[in-house]
Amino acid sequence: MTKPNILISAGEPSGEMYAARLVRALATRVEAHLFGLGGPRMREAGVELVAENSAIAVVGITEVLGKAPTVWRLIRQLSEEAERRRPKLAILVDSPGFNLRLARRLNAQGVPIVYFISPHVWAWKRWRIHAIRSRVKRMLCIFPFEEKYYRDRGVAADFVGHPQVDDVQATRSREEFAARYDMDPTKPIVALLPGSRRNELKYNLPTMLEASRLIAAKQPAQFVLALAPALRPAEVVPFAQTEMAVHLVEDETYNALAAADAAIVSSGTATVEAALLGVPMVVVYRLAPTTAFLLRRLVRTPFFSMVNLIAGQRVVTELFQDEFTAERVAGEVLRLLKSGEARDEMRRGLAEVRAKLGPGGAMERAAEIIAAML
């Protein structure tokens, strides 16, 4: 019997990480051939890549405009492959700017679509709900408040839990981590997580490093720069011209966070990871000025960090765009380092966030739903 074809599309490194795990969970339930858009982790999971996502992993409105010809070329390429292979199902993962356009073409071909890691239409671009309602057969949500939002608007949706609940665990103690990187475990450690994209390094890392310099001038702290899997050390060099000692670590983000007394974290998936590990943090973000100008007029949420959105209240300090200064960041981190009470209060809020993200097993629940749809 011929295996059914399934198209899967993940346009960014964070989405690809989840997609690869979903593919592995699905493989234990159904026999199928998966093809589509992704990167090395999806290829390792057994997906036949007919297009690479490295060309479109960008952030921000103005940055996306420069990628428009590539985006449309990849959409055309994938839709032509779908026309030729006739997949039984399409799994679209995150990347709504790309995947919702692809969904329109797939929908016209009669391909049922399941969307994993829903677009944040509850925050901005709310008009996208109409496209989702008409094109997406099932929405699989990783944040608890999303299920009701979609169901109230006529979209079949399920909260499966957050995939990171199962994954985010340290493999070294603080003492082991400190010994590995020649640090003193009795002195404060501050983790820096500038993001997973090159543009995020450009906009976030210099201010993070300047804030670290200010912190070091008032507190004998040690600093660890945790590099995202999609980045390489050479990409950090242009932004890390500083006399201050910073320990650069690869493939040890969870250990770096778990060892830290406080963290400076770029808004995104890393904030959820830090919350799961109970690390007191300051959430920061900066975008290209034009993108930030437009976002301020489009976003309709009281917070921009996922930690505060999940909590429904301000648990962590958020510093966005003009508020994201070295002085503000340093002040917030020093407050956390100097006050055990402040750290404990934030950890209690982070524990509540952790509880709302589900009991684990998100990938298995998502795979069960997809297998049933086949």
Residue-wise pLDDT for 252-305, tens only, equals 999 999 999 999 999 888 999 999 999 999 999 887 777 665 666 555 666 778
Residue-wise pLDDT for 306-353, tens only, equals 899 898 899 999 999 889 999 999 999 999 999 999 999 999 999 999
How confident is the model at residue 345, as a pLDDT?
Answer: 96
Shared-domain flag, residues 125 and 19: yes
Residue-wise pLDDT for 225-234, tens only, equals 999 877 778 7
Residue-wise pLDDT for 8-65, tens only, equals 999 887 789 899 999 999 999 999 999 999 999 999 999 999 999 877 764 444 444 5
What is the chain's mean pLDDT, rounded? Answer: 90
Shared-domain flag, residues 22 and 145: yes
How confident is the model at residue 63, as a pLDDT?
Answer: 45
Record the pTM: 0.80
Rounded Cα distance between 119 and 96, Å, is: 6
User: Are residues 244 and 261 in contact, defined by beta-carbon separation less than 8 angstroms?
Assistant: no
Residue 365 has pLDDT above 90, yes or no: yes
How confident is the model at residue 66, as a pLDDT?
Answer: 56
* Sign of the dihedral through C-alpha 135, 136, 141, 147: positive
324: CB partners within 8 A, 6+ apart: 204, 207, 284, 285, 286
**CB-neighbour burial class of residue 141 (10 A; exposed 0-12, middle 13-18, buried 19+):** buried
Comparing 90-94, 120-124, 258-262, the range with the smallest average pLDDT is: 120-124
How confident is the model at residue 299, as a pLDDT?
Answer: 59
More confident of the two residues 9 and 145: 9
Shared-domain flag, residues 106 and 194: no
Alpha helices for the chain (secondary structure H): 13-27, 40-44, 61-66, 68-85, 96-108, 128-135, 144-152, 164-167, 174-180, 198-218, 233-236, 253-259, 269-276, 289-298, 306-311, 326-338, 340-356, 362-373
Q: What is the CATH number of the domain that holds 289?
A: 3.40.50.2000
Shared-domain flag, residues 184 and 118: no
Q: Smallest Cα–Cα separation from 239: which of 212, 202, 264?
A: 202
User: Are residues 67 and 55 in contact, defined by beta-carbon separation less than 8 angstroms?
Assistant: yes
Shared-domain flag, residues 366 and 346: no
How confident is the model at residue 59, as a pLDDT?
Answer: 44
How confident is the model at residue 108, as a pLDDT?
Answer: 95
Rounded Cα distance between 281 and 332, Å, is: 9
As a whole-number percent, the residues of the chain with pLDDT over 70 amount to: 91
Give the DSSP per-residue string, 352-370: HHHHHT-SS-HHHHHHHHH
Q: Smallest Cα–Cα separation from 283: which of 257, 333, 318?
A: 318
Shared-domain flag, residues 178 and 324: yes
As a whole number of Å, the CA-based R_g of the chain is 21
Shared-domain flag, residues 285 and 304: yes
Residue-wise pLDDT for 183-225, tens only, equals 999 999 999 999 887 888 888 999 999 999 999 999 999 999 9
What residues form DSSP beta bridges with 205?
A: none
How confident is the model at residue 61, as a pLDDT?
Answer: 42
Shared-domain flag, residues 24 and 152: yes
User: What does the longest C-alpha to C-alpha distance in the chain come to?
Assistant: 69
Rounded Cα distance between 75 and 72, Å, is: 5
Shared-domain flag, residues 311 and 288: yes
Residue 1 has pLDDT above 70, yes or no: no
Shared-domain flag, residues 187 and 129: no
- Structural domain of 270: 167-356
Shared-domain flag, residues 85 and 65: yes
How confident is the model at residue 291, as a pLDDT?
Answer: 66
How confident is the model at residue 165, as a pLDDT?
Answer: 93
322: CB partners within 8 A, 6+ apart: none
45 φ, ψ (degrees, to nearest 5)? -80, -5
How confident is the model at residue 243, as a pLDDT?
Answer: 64
355 φ, ψ (degrees, to nearest 5)? -65, -30
Q: In the chain, how many domains are there?
A: 2
Shared-domain flag, residues 108 and 254: no
